[in-house]
């Protein structure tokens, strides 16, 4: 199964604007699905879109931070399986999401860029390893 390895922040922003935010939900579904494929066998599972939406609503958005934190940690911890090493982990993502929001709102975009960069690298290594 080929995993998408060409996610980009400018396209994410553009498609999110054009679709009035709907693309951002499809993106979350896609990255969770791909993370579960690439990181299969690590004993973890990245929850999908329904859980993300419901738990974020119930917790007034706190679960959103938890989800991104866990995804960042999961990508970083699985990088060595593919001969990669990421400097950024869930803590980096969380810091950009929370404190980076105070920098004219640019922090969440930096956090998303980091997740995309790391997911793209893992996806490429996965595709090479599995001849996809």
Tell me phi and psi for residue 47, to 5 degrees: -65, 155
The three-point CA angle 6-106-31 to 5° equals 30
59-117 pLDDT, tens digit per residue, is 999 999 999 999 999 999 999 999 999 999 999 999 999 998 888 889 999 999 999 99
Matching residue, tokens 């939900």: 25
The residue behind tokens 């931070």 is 65
Q: How far apart are CA 124 and CA 132, in angstroms?
A: 9
On whether the pTM is more than 0.85, the answer is yes
Model confidence pLDDT, tens digit, residues 21-51: 999 999 999 999 999 999 999 999 999 999 9
């Amino acid at each position: 199964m080929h995993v998408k390895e060409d996610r980009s922040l400018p396209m994410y922003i553009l498609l999110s604007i054009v679709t009035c935010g709907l693309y951002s939900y499809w993106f979350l579904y896609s990255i969770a699905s791909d993370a579960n494929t690439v990181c299969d066998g690590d004993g973890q599972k990245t929850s999908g879109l329904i859980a993300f939406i419901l738990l974020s609503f119930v917790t007034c958005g706190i679960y959103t931070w938890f989800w991104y934190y866990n995804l960042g940690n999961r990508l970083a911890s699985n990088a060595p399986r593919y001969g990669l090493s990421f400097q950024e982990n869930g803590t980096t993502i969380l810091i950009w999401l929370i404190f980076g929001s105070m920098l004219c709102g640019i922090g969440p975009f930096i956090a998303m860029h980091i997740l995309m960069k790391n997911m793209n690298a893992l996806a490429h290594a996965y595709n090479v390893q599995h001849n996809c």
